[in-house]
Amino acid sequence: MCVCPGPRRIGIPVRSSSLPLFSDAMPAPTQLFFPLIRNCELSRIYGTACYCHHKHLCCSPPYIPQSRLRYTPHPTYATFYRPKESWWQYTQGRRYASTPQKFYLTPPQVNSILKANEYSFKVPEFDGKNVSSVLGFDSNQLPANAPIEDRRSAATCLQTRGMLLGVFDGHAGCACSQAVSERLFYYIAVSLLPHETLLEIENAVESGRALLPILQWHKHPNDYFSKEASKLYFNSLRTYWQELIDLNTGESTEIDVKEALINAFKRLDNDISLEAQVGDPNSFLNYLVLRVAFSGATACVAHVDGVDLHVANTGDSRAMLGVQEEDGSWSAVTLSNDHNAQNEREVERLKLEHPKNEAKSVVKQDRLLGLLMPFRAFGDVKFKWSIDLQKRVIESGPDQLNDNEYTKFIPPNYYTPPYLTAEPEVTYHRLRPQDKFLVLATDGLWETMHRQDVVRIVGEYLTGMHHQEPIAVGGYKVTLGQMHGLLTERRAKMSSVFEDQNAATHLIRHAVGNNEFGAVDHERLSKMLSLPEELARMYRDDITIIVVQFNSHVVGAYQKQE
């Protein structure tokens, strides 16, 4: 999502006559797409898009159900967006130069875009045996923002059992979602560690010995970790476990996963906030921690250990369980609640947390203080710190921060902070053999697809092969020719499913390319994927998906044991 104060539903008087403008310096390849957009979507862009000062186009065409922009700038900023040249003139010019032609991506091109970020992990079988309740997972991302603001993480806990998987949806930049994606699992893992292990690790640090590894990451090559901040992050984490060690009363208590998850979320958000207040002598780091704190991110994290599945959610990403009924059909079980205006309990909570006289302003136009769509998030100190603190930090901060009008801007009706929390809601589910998979995805997916469709598509994809009953000749008169015909037909059916080797990719293909009949339409897919960076955000949001597959045999065996 753009950091710039983009246009939104309220606040900015966008004149319908001032058409969006494209810089002449626009990279050549994107120009190719203009005829396409002109043909099909211009009327929608018209009048709603505008151009902003750092060349990020932030538009919200009215047909998009949810504007992905969560911030409104101060009305005075509208003066920034004075178009120099009209989009109309520009495209007219182009049209003289090039004959109108339809431009389509070929299926292999579409595939290479869809598969660029796909990642699969199979829990390794050792010597043909596999005792983990997780078979593996598929994940993928499709960017709409440039750069993408979503993040994803997956790791196996090495000192405790279990696997962690999470999706993170950033806003106002990717700094916060990046930080959360690399740090949160460490906080969770540390919260889950028994006292003795914590002591061992602390002693190892103290005496300079090799540390016990805590997490085994499963990363796509594009998923990076920040090298610069690594030392800073480590120190904050160490302070955390030192406190955990000090707090230990000596009695060895069972560690409660739910509590651990809540503590980890809160602690990390607290550390993000503290690091920004304290600052760092290294100017690069100083700017980084401030960007992390002033941007925001939602998080939806699953912890799977045997049959125990915990989902901790902060914000509006969602965890959905795919359940196969006895008749083979699929049903969806939601394991998280969205924290936004559609959730009455959240609205209620917010109203109760603030004085009665703020009841009208705290949730306005379905947004927190009329600005922010998710009602819980990491970072976003604009909604957490007092006005004094915000001003102090910004003034002492680096110039880049000072120059950014957005950070200086204080939300309206800001009386009793904090308005925002990172505390997650934790759902527990005990896995059953019929629970075949879990889908974690950012709202980019849930906006475009119904949860029931999501579960059905993934379910049919994962079981594609097994769904077809094996053929047996058993006593019937079948000729080789008949059998061959039957088999060829079955194979053709399967091969369409196996175009994707990754369930998340398959889901994205449907999310982006589905036509009104629920089938993937190549033409539509091609159009959606060939949108230039600047326009993509108007038609879709970043989509990040993790599909975790469970091992029904192992889950069943757990059940029998008890």
Partner 1 sequence: MAEVVLSQKRLAAGSTRFCAGILSTARHLTIEQKMADYSNKLYHQLEQETGIHTGYIRTGSIFLAQTQDRLISLKRINSRLNVIGIPSEIISPKKVAELHPLLNVHDLVGAMHVPEDAVVSSADVALALASAASQNGVQIYDRTTILHVMVRKGQVTGVETDKGQIQCHYFVNCAGQWAYELGLSNEEPVSIPLHACEHFYLLTRPWETPLQSNTPTIVDADGRIYIRNWQGGILSGGFEKNPKPIFTEGKNQLEIQNLQEDWDHFEPLLSSLLRRMPELETLEIMKLVNCPETFTPDMRCIMGESPSVRGYFVLAGMNSAGLSFGGGAGRYLAEWMVHGYPSESVWELDLKRFGALQSSRTFLRHRVMEVMPLLYDLKVPRWDFQTGRQLRTSPLYDRLDAQGARWMEKHGFERPKYFVPPDKDLLALEQSKTFYKPDWFEIVESEVKCCKEAVCVIDMSSFTKFEITSTGDQALEILQYLFSNDLDVPVGHIVHTGMLNEGGGYENDCSIARLSKRSFFMISPTDQQVHCWAWLKKYMPEDSNLILEDVTWKYTALNLIGPRAVDVLSELSYAPMTPDHFPSLFCKEMSVGYANGIRVMSMTHTGEPGFMLYIPIEYALHVYNEVMSVGQKYGIRNAGYYALRSLRVEKFFAFWGQDLNTLTTPLECGRESRVKLDKGMDFIGRDALLQQKQNGVYKRLTMFILDDHDTDLDLWPWWGEPIYRNGQYVGKTTSSAYGYTLERHVCLGFVHNFSEDTGEEQVVTADFINRGEYEIDIAGQRFQAKAKLYPVTSLFTHKRRKDDVELSDLHGK
Q: How far is the CB of 494 from partner 1 (least distance, A)?
A: 8
Q: Compute, in degrees rounded to 10, the torsion defined by CA atoms 447, 452, 457, 458.
A: 90
Would you give the binding string for partner 1 spanning residues 411-450, x where CB under 8 A is met? ----------------------------------------
Residue selected from 16, 126, 352, 560 as contacting partner 1 according to rule CB under 8 A: 126
Residue selected from 255, 359, 387, 478 as contacting partner 1 according to rule CB under 8 A: 478
Query: Could you tell me which residues are beta bridge partners of residue 152?
Result: 167
Residue selected from 327, 470, 516, 562 as contacting partner 1 according to rule CB under 8 A: 470
Q: How far is the CB of 520 from partner 1 (least distance, A)?
A: 24
Q: Which is nearer to partner 1, 281 or 470 (CB)?
A: 470
483 binds partner 1 per the rule CB under 8 A: yes
560 binds partner 1 per the rule CB under 8 A: no
Q: How far is the CB of 225 from partner 1 (least distance, A)?
A: 24
Residue selected from 468, 495, 496, 515 as contacting partner 1 according to rule CB under 8 A: 468
What is the footprint of partner 1 within residues 183-222 (CB under 8 A)? none
Q: Which is nearer to partner 1, 54 or 129 (CB)?
A: 129
40 binds partner 1 per the rule CB under 8 A: no
Instruction: Count the neighbouring beta carbons within 10 Å of the beta carbon of residue 89.
Output: 11
Q: Which is nearer to partner 1, 468 or 496 (CB)?
A: 468
Distances (CA, A) of 312 to 322, 349, 425, 549: 18, 18, 6, 18
Size of the site for partner 1 (CB under 8 A): 20
Q: Which is nearer to partner 1, 108 or 481 (CB)?
A: 481
Strand 435-441 relative to strand 119-122: parallel, antiparallel, unpaired?
unpaired
Tokens describing residue 100: 């109108």
Close Cβ partners of 200 (under 8 Å, ≥ 6 residues apart):
212
127 binds partner 1 per the rule CB under 8 A: yes
Q: How far is the CB of 128 from partner 1 (least distance, A)?
A: 4
Closest CA to 377 of 163, 147, 184, 153: 184
Concatenated DSSP letters of 346-408: HHHHHHHHS-GGGHHHHEETTEETTTBS-SB-EE-GGGTS-HHHHHHHHHHS-HHHHH-HHHH
Q: Which is nearer to partner 1, 125 or 348 (CB)?
A: 125
Q: Which is nearer to partner 1, 355 or 485 (CB)?
A: 485
Q: How far is the CB of 486 from partner 1 (least distance, A)?
A: 8
Give the count of alpha carbons within 13 A of 458, CB side only: 37
> What span, in angstroms and rounded, lies between the C-alpha atoms of 87 and 22?
6
Phi then psi for residue 549, to 5 deg, are -105, 135
Q: Which is nearer to partner 1, 221 or 481 (CB)?
A: 481
Q: Which is nearer to partner 1, 245 or 497 (CB)?
A: 497
Q: How far is the CB of 107 from partner 1 (least distance, A)?
A: 23
471 binds partner 1 per the rule CB under 8 A: yes
Q: How far is the CB of 462 from partner 1 (least distance, A)?
A: 17
Would you mind telling me the total number of residues written for the chain in this entry?
Answer: 562
276 within 8 A of 207, measured Cβ to Cβ: no
480 binds partner 1 per the rule CB under 8 A: yes
490 binds partner 1 per the rule CB under 8 A: yes
Q: What is the SS3 assignment for 157?
A: strand
Residue selected from 29, 65, 79, 129 as contacting partner 1 according to rule CB under 8 A: 129
Tokens describing residue 479: 């000729």
481 binds partner 1 per the rule CB under 8 A: yes
Q: How far is the CB of 490 from partner 1 (least distance, A)?
A: 6
484 binds partner 1 per the rule CB under 8 A: yes
CA 55 to chain centre: 24
487 binds partner 1 per the rule CB under 8 A: yes
Range in contact with partner 1 (rule: CB under 8 A) among 5-13, 146-154, 487-495, 497-505? 487-495
492 binds partner 1 per the rule CB under 8 A: no
Q: How far is the CB of 493 from partner 1 (least distance, A)?
A: 11
Tokens describing residue 297: 């991110």
540 within 8 A of 512, measured Cβ to Cβ: yes
Query: Could you tell me which residues are beta bridge partners of residue 439?
Result: 320, 547
Tokens describing residue 348: 């209620």
Tokens describing residue 312: 């901790």
In SS3 terms, 394-447 reads as: HHHCCHHHHHCHHHHCCCCCCCCCCCCECCCEEEEEECCCCEEEEEEECHHHHH
Q: Which is nearer to partner 1, 25 or 480 (CB)?
A: 480
Q: What is the SS3 assignment for 492?
A: helix
131 binds partner 1 per the rule CB under 8 A: no
Distances (CA, A) of 120 to 31, 124, 139, 142, 280: 35, 12, 6, 15, 37
- Which residue has tokens 């379910």? 459
Range in contact with partner 1 (rule: CB under 8 A) among 12-20, 123-131, 132-140, 423-431? 123-131
Residue selected from 25, 210, 473, 519 as contacting partner 1 according to rule CB under 8 A: 473
Q: Which is nearer to partner 1, 84 or 477 (CB)?
A: 477
> What span, in angstroms and rounded, lies between the C-alpha atoms of 321 and 509?
20
Q: How far apart are the first and last CA of the chain?
A: 48
Residue selected from 251, 472, 517, 561 as contacting partner 1 according to rule CB under 8 A: 472
Tokens describing residue 381: 């100190």
Q: Compute, in degrees rounded to 10, the torsion defined by CA atoms 194, 199, 201, 207.
A: -170
Tokens describing residue 241: 């476990």
Q: How far is the CB of 122 from partner 1 (least distance, A)?
A: 14
493 binds partner 1 per the rule CB under 8 A: no
Q: Applying CB under 8 A, which residues contact partner 1?
A: 126-129, 468, 470-473, 477-481, 483-484, 487-488, 490-491
